[in-house]
Structure 1
């Protein structure tokens, strides 16, 4: 595929996107002079019961305040089960740290770490994993204080945290962004994974939010101009052109002395800005597009301070990104599509999940976007880490392939489509034995979200499930940026 490479992989630190839990949100560490990360604050009792979160890359970082025994689990699913790694920091009265596999002794690694934790202040740590190499280090230090290479690695889909042995703890788990914007018409772009932003902004006027298909200003593009025209009016603009799609009065919406909380949402072409749950401004695009990034800026005499989260408290369910439907395409003569920019297909085997792998679904554990060769075809499918294979659909059956490739290094949007159609920007992911192009699609089946192949000539998305090849005329297509 043009623009797609097959490469070996190496550790590449990246930040997981976490599901929301009922916790507070605070800033905890600087990224650069204009952006800092936010955190979920989680309280763990003296119970040795893990709280689990999904990972989408080969690392996580956190801060913890506890007198001893900060435990971290790395698992294939959101529960304790074999296989499983455990990292105990500050165990045995805050004197030692270890790495354990499958809850069994002897421990794989044991190091002396006297006083590594504190019950009075937060201490920062990072954990990284790649191809069986597990490493744990302190915030601000590049080299781990503890590491181990597993000769029989497995795919990691979740991490959990807990405290015990007489200790309760407070954790800061990375989530969200804080951004400062100068008085300049220049967007600061970040990736999205859900169709909503929770924003707190402190600015005298002109807080601008862009919704785009990539980390840059380019058509197609939505802009929400909030508190513009000297903090008297707001507007929604499409492709940076006038007249505005919506323009109305919103006097005093912003304030330069306090943060004002707003929600930006998009779904099936409906763009909304809300305040206190009430819609301030709304527009429906008759020809919507997949949104993978947002940008924020201030201008026209205003600077701004932003706190942004790409999820809404209490929200659940799959991560849907805008819902365009492409025009019907006869047969499988599909329009050429971009190859996804930095998208890379990384060779893997036996359940391995490389850093930066793109999550695609869920079936008792996180599934990832993969592809494998079968009967002369290169077929998109689902990587099931605990099963040790990538499943692909072919010839009416589900086939498990121990050797496969995993899609890495790109932001993914899932765009609804039907009857063999694919939206503009769909990622070419394979081909049939006859040379017909295949695209990555997914559909829900018996409570699972399964990744499969969109085959235009058959007007369906085929998913592998329960030993069968199952056809869905309505599905979602992966658009990679």
Structure 2
């Protein structure tokens, strides 16, 4: 299924789409006030939830139930939206708990649990209060590798490969696996070569060995040819830089090896750990759901 691309006017009128998957992932370019409704019907009804991202002049985000104040949850989010670039987000709902996070972040910045446990069948999007918006909404999917970055990452160490580890590369005839690891304040995608008894991540111009890491498992994704900083909407977030920038999972052939590394959009390249170095490539394959 294709992504839904939509322009919303300054009208505070929701456009609804079916989605009972438990999550939605989207990108939005708007100066403020990106509004998302979670509803049992394709209309504004009671009960219903609303999430306002970048409300009140792009200063805070909230969760509201039944269009009624006071809001059930809120948090300061200064400048979370941009009128000049797309910003990515995910929303999950399960057993009455709603969580909202930035694309590439594992931890939500907004959450709330409701005892009523409303069954969500539709999502709605709109902008208002002086804002218009351009949206890219992923189609509703579920399970590992579906929307919202619902990948399965399994902790391992010292060359271990969990069952159903996702092999995305090759190193001198040996399968290399997609991993991520914490390193110098960042969460970095990289490669695991089991016979080396360690994984590697690219950072600071070097190929950095790590003995503890997480392996991507049970993932039915696909690799797409890509270049530069134009990231596909369904690209899989694999971590974040020490500055909070979302990083993606990429690979390229170098010196006869298919090597996995990190795609850093602000740099417009894929970085791979290889031969003790961090090497940059403007053309690469990127992992997508």
Deviations 1:424-447 (A, max 9, x none): 211111000010000001111101
CA contact (8 A) 2:223 2:286 kept: yes
Q: Distance in 2 between matches of 1:419 and 1:435?
A: 19
The equivalent of 2:277 in structure 1 is 468
CA contact (8 A) 2:207 2:274 kept: yes
The equivalent of 2:153 in structure 1 is 345
Would you say 1:440 and 2:249 are equivalent positions? Answer: yes
Q: Distance in 2 between matches of 1:409 and 1:448?
A: 23
Q: 2:175 aligns with which of 339, 355, 366?
A: 366
Q: 2:221 aligns with which of 412, 431, 448?
A: 412
Cα shift at 1:219: 4.1
Q: Secondary structure at the match of 2:266?
A: helix
The equivalent of 2:9 in structure 1 is none
Would you say 1:382 and 2:191 are equivalent positions? Answer: yes
Cα shift at 1:421: 2.1
Q: Secondary structure at the match of 1:457?
A: coil
TM-score normalised by L of structure 1:
0.31
Cα shift at 1:423: 1.2
Structure 1: segments with no counterpart, 5+ residues: 1-217, 221-330
Q: 1:332 to 1:452 in 2, by over 3 A?
A: farther
Q: Distance in 1 between matches of 2:267 and 2:198?
A: 26
Would you say 1:394 and 2:174 are equivalent positions? Answer: no
Q: Distance in 2 between matches of 1:375 and 1:335?
A: 24
State which structure, 1 or 2, has the greater radius of gyration over its C-alpha atoms: 1
The equivalent of 2:119 in structure 1 is none
CA contact (8 A) 2:145 2:221 kept: no
The CA RMSD over aligned residues, in Å, is: 2.0
CA contact (8 A) 1:332 1:436 kept: no
Which segments of structure 1 move beyond 3 Å, counting only runs of 4 or more? 331-339
Q: Distance in 2 between matches of 1:445 and 1:478?
A: 18
Q: Distance in 1 between matches of 2:86 and 2:186?
A: 18
Alignment of 1:9-88 (within 5 A): none
CA contact (8 A) 1:358 1:412 kept: no
Q: Distance in 2 between matches of 1:332 and 1:385?
A: 40
Q: Secondary structure at the match of 1:372?
A: strand
The equivalent of 1:118 in structure 2 is none
Q: Distance in 2 between matches of 1:351 and 1:472?
A: 26
Q: 1:334 to 1:474 in 2, by over 3 A?
A: farther
CA contact (8 A) 1:420 1:461 kept: no
TM-score normalised by L of structure 2:
0.50
Structure scoring higher RCO (CA < 8 A, sep ≥ 6) equals 2
